[in-house]
């Protein structure tokens, strides 16, 4: 299939040329497909691990065989940002070759399969990056590799077939399995922490993609690099951590402005000293946009197109139906219901038009359990939302076999229907109770209190947690879902007790509760997620905390 695509392409070009030159009767020359005379006997990861922390000339194996690897080209120096380097990748790892030759892309296209005999070449390091090259000047007493001659490379490397530029985006594999063996691939990460889950031999020189990242643009660093100077630019992930992007002032895009917004960025994962660096193959590796902000949301067409896959942001569309119960992958029209007669409450379909009836033009919206998003949006319980416009904040992915919005927190500030956000919950009830175990105070009493009280009993529903800062709508998560950067939730330092069960709760009928080592195992959503939505009563102190009346010093917890 791979070869026929390229043969067809070349035949098409030849045919077009013939039409222009009036030589349509000429025979098209047969395309020669390269076949190697050597066969791989070692994976790239095996090679890198065997020679890890060594700089030496590669000899033969114990049985006398040469070390031979096979892989696909994943780098390109076409833009000038990669300098005299070629990276190939197999299904286990990637390896950089330092070659004293420019414009390597002319002979080694993306996806070109190569078989390389390493015996007789040198493998080692340059400033911490493992690669194949030639002996160079030492650094701090350590041997370093430099560029090998182009002839050495050509004598040891052979083409295997024609280049296949198709690639696949995959998740990280800790054991190095699961990566494609029939095409080159790109490993996607949601944040920079993920690259540290692999070893240096596994991760160095891999083609990677970081999602939901943005450039840190400061005065003097508005472009990729100054003219004829190498420069570091900084990417920031969704957790606020940073990564160096190394750019060349000799590239053909050095003077382009760094894009504002957020999105996905690909590149070769390089290494210098003890730090990771990302090297772009070209500006097309940068897929950053201002789209996805609430005032410029993704459309259904954007999600279906796939160019923003993995990004997080706001998506809008009209609710047109839902996927039927029992369907795990939509493949035909009978798998969906267009209209308000839903069979299940975990999804809705949205589209650019409120009258859409083609599932190929629809986006599935995952409705997480126990969230306001599901409570207010599912068609099974809310048939009146049919044909209304939905705006939802989530991640662009797949669900039920369709392009989708997934992993929304589903909270009060994560969606609107026809431009209207859900309310802040029912009004708080009137104060009630005497504070005893038999007759505990209700949440209305705590909210209305003015004087501190100790060793009293209060009852309420576990309704969420304060993600950060004071007790405000913006800082509260009325669900059991994790919010990025929520150290309070990760450490189970607080929960919210509401007068009402989830879906009716909000800041106007709830109070924050500080957790201690006594109460954390029972009330902490991290340690005990099953407590979410349950009614409890606690023996505690009523006081002020996080800017409002609150509960602290819990000494006893009882589930009702």
Q: For tokens 């030639």, name the residue.
A: 134
Residue among 415, 408, 407, 341 at smallest CA distance from 377: 415
Half-sphere exposure (Cβ direction) of 303: Cα atoms closer than 13 Å: 34
Residue 182 CB contacts under 8 Å (≥ 6 apart), including other chains: none
Largest CA distance in the chain: 101
Task: Give per-residue burial for 420-456: e unless 16+ CB within 10 Å, then b.
Answer: eebebbeebeeeebeeeeeebbbbbbbbebeeeeeeb
| DSSP 8-state secondary structure symbol assigned to residue 510 | E
Q: What is the pLDDT of residue 92?
A: 95
| DSSP 8-state secondary structure symbol assigned to residue 131 | E
Q: Using an 8 Å Cβ cutoff, are 111 and 166 in contact?
A: yes
Cα 33 from Cα 4, distance rounded (Å): 11
Q: For tokens 């005379």, name the residue.
A: 37
Residue among 92, 97, 109 at smallest CA distance from 152: 97
- Phi, psi for residue 117 in degrees, rounded to 5: -90, 110
Residue pLDDT, tens place only, 348-375: 999 999 999 999 999 999 999 878 899 9
Cα 51 from Cα 521, distance rounded (Å): 48
Residue pLDDT, tens place only, 245-265: 999 999 999 999 999 999 999
Q: What is the pLDDT of residue 18?
A: 39
Mean pLDDT of 158-184: 90
Residue 180 CB contacts under 8 Å (≥ 6 apart), including other chains: 91, 168, 170
Residue pLDDT, tens place only, 66-95: 999 999 999 999 999 999 999 999 999 999
Mean pLDDT of 125-141: 94
pTM above 0.75, yes or no: no
Distance of CA 366 to the CA centre of its chain: 17
Mean pLDDT of 454-471: 94
Residue pLDDT, tens place only, 5-55: 343 334 343 433 333 444 445 566 677 899 999 999 999 999 999 999 999
Residue 163 CB contacts under 8 Å (≥ 6 apart), including other chains: 6, 73, 109, 110, 111, 112, 113
Which pair of tokens denotes residue 287? 């897929």
Residue among 519, 543, 524 at smallest CA distance from 446: 543
Q: What is the pLDDT of residue 488?
A: 66
Residue among 315, 321, 266 at smallest CA distance from 288: 266
Q: Is 271 exposed, middle or buried (0-12, 13-18, 19+ CB in 10 A)?
A: buried
The band of 3, judged by pLDDT with boundaries at 50, 70 and 90, is very low
Cα 405 from Cα 397, distance rounded (Å): 6
Q: What is the chain's mean pLDDT, rounded?
A: 91
pLDDT at residue 420 greater than cutoff 80 = yes
Cα 30 from Cα 7, distance rounded (Å): 9
pLDDT at residue 208 greater than cutoff 50 = yes
Half-sphere exposure (Cβ direction) of 438: Cα atoms closer than 13 Å: 0
Q: Using an 8 Å Cβ cutoff, are 112 and 126 in contact?
A: no
Cα 195 from Cα 241, distance rounded (Å): 13
The band of 503, judged by pLDDT with boundaries at 50, 70 and 90, is confident
Report how far apart, in Å, the C-alpha atoms of 343 and of each of 123, 147, 230, 323, 359 are.
Answer: 61, 64, 58, 8, 17
Cα 434 from Cα 455, distance rounded (Å): 12
Mean pLDDT of 491-514: 92
Rg value, the chain, Cα:
30
Cα 440 from Cα 457, distance rounded (Å): 5
The CA dihedral of 194, 199, 200, 205, to the nearest 10 degrees, is -60
Q: What is the pLDDT of residue 409?
A: 86
pLDDT at residue 449 greater than cutoff 60 = yes
223 pairs with which residues across the strands?
A: 257
Q: Dump the DSSP string for 197-260.
A: GS-HHHHTT-EEEEEEEEEE--TT-SBS--TT--EEEEEE-TTS-EEEEEE-TTSTTTTSBPPP
Half-sphere exposure (Cβ direction) of 549: Cα atoms closer than 13 Å: 18
pLDDT at residue 175 greater than cutoff 80 = no
Which pair of tokens denotes residue 155? 């004598």
Mean pLDDT of 186-191: 94
| DSSP 8-state secondary structure symbol assigned to residue 7 | H
Q: What is the pLDDT of residue 29?
A: 67
Q: pLDDT above 90 covers what percent of the chain?
A: 79
Distance of CA 226 to the CA centre of its chain: 30
Cα 323 from Cα 403, distance rounded (Å): 13
Q: What is the pLDDT of residue 370?
A: 78
pLDDT at residue 484 greater than cutoff 60 = no
pLDDT at residue 475 greater than cutoff 90 = no
Cα 44 from Cα 60, distance rounded (Å): 16
Q: Is 550 exposed, middle or buried (0-12, 13-18, 19+ CB in 10 A)?
A: buried
Cα 529 from Cα 548, distance rounded (Å): 25
Residue among 79, 68, 110, 116 at smallest CA distance from 99: 116
Q: Using an 8 Å Cβ cutoff, are 403 and 395 in contact?
A: no
Residue among 271, 299, 289, 292 at smallest CA distance from 203: 271
| DSSP 8-state secondary structure symbol assigned to residue 9 | H
Q: Using an 8 Å Cβ cutoff, are 172 and 196 in contact?
A: no
**Does 302 or 5 have the greater pLDDT score?**
302
């Amino acid at each position: 299939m791979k070869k026929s695509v390229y043969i067809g392409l070349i035949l098409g070009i030849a045919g077009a040329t013939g039409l222009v030159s009036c030589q349509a009767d000429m025979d098209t020359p047969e395309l020669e497909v390269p076949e190697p005379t050597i066969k791989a006997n070692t994976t790239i990861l095996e090679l890198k691990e065997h020679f890890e922390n060594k700089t030496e000339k590669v000899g033969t194996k114990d049985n006398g065989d040469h070390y031979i690897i096979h892989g696909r080209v994943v780098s390109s120096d076409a833009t000038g940002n990669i300098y005299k380097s070629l990276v190939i990748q197999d299904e286990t790892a990637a390896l950089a070759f330092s070659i004293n030759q420019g414009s390597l892309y002319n002979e080694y296209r993306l996806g070109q399969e190569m078989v390389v005999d390493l015996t007789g070449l040198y493998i080692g390091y340059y400033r911490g990056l493992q690669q194949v090259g030639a002996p160079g000047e030492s650094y701090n007493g350590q041997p370093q590799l430099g560029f090998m001659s182009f002839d050495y490379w050509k004598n040891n490397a052979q083409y295997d077939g024609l280049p296949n530029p198709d690639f696949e985006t995959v998740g990280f594999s800790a054991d190095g399995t699961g990566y494609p063996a029939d095409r080159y691939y790109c490993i996607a990460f949601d944040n920079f922490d993920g690259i540290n889950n692999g070893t240096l031999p596994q991760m160095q020189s891999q083609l990677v993609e970081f999602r939901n990242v943005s450039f840190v643009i400061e005065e003097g660093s508005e472009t990729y690099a100054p003219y004829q100077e190498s420069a570091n630019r900084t990417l920031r992930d969704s957790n606020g951590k940073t990564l160096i992007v190394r750019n060349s002032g000799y590239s053909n895009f050095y003077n382009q402005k760094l894009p504002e917004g957020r999105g996905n960025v690909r590149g070769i994962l390089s290494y210098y000293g003890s730090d990771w660096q990302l090297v772009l193959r070209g500006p097309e590796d940068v897929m950053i946009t201002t789209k996805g902000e609430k005032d410029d949301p993704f459309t259904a067409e954007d999600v279906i197109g796939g160019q923003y896959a993995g990004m997080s942001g706001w998506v809008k569309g009209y609710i047109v139906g839902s996927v039927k119960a029992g369907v795990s992958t939509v493949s035909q029209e009978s798998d969906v219901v267009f209209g308000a007669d839903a069979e299940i409450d975990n999804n809705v379909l949205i589209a650019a038009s409120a009258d859409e009836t083609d599932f190929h033009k629809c986006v599935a919206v995952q409705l997480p359990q126990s969230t306001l998003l599901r409570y207010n949006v599912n068609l099974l319980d809310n048939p009146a939302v049919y044909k209304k416009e939905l705006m939802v904040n989530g991640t662009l992915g797949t669900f039920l076999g369709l392009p989708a919005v997934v992993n929304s927190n589903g909270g009060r500030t994560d969606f609107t229907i026809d431009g209207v956000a859900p309310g802040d919950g029912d009004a708080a009830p009137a104060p009630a109770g005497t504070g005893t175990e038999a007759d505990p105070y209700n949440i209305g009493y705590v909210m209305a209190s003015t004087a501190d009280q100790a060793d009293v009993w209060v009852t309420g529903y576990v309704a969420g947690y304060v993600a950060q800062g004071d007790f405000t709508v913006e800082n509260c998560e009325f669900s059991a879902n994790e919010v990025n950067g929520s150290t309070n939730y990760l450490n189970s330092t607080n929960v919210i007790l509401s007068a009402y069960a989830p879906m009716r709760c909000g800041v106007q009928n709830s109070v924050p509760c500080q957790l201690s080592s006594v109460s954390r195992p029972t009330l902490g959503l991290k340690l005990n997620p099953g407590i979410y939505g349950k009614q409890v009563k606690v023996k505690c102190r009523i006081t002020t905390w996080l800017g409002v009346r609150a509960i602290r010093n819990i000494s006893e917890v009882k589930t009702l």
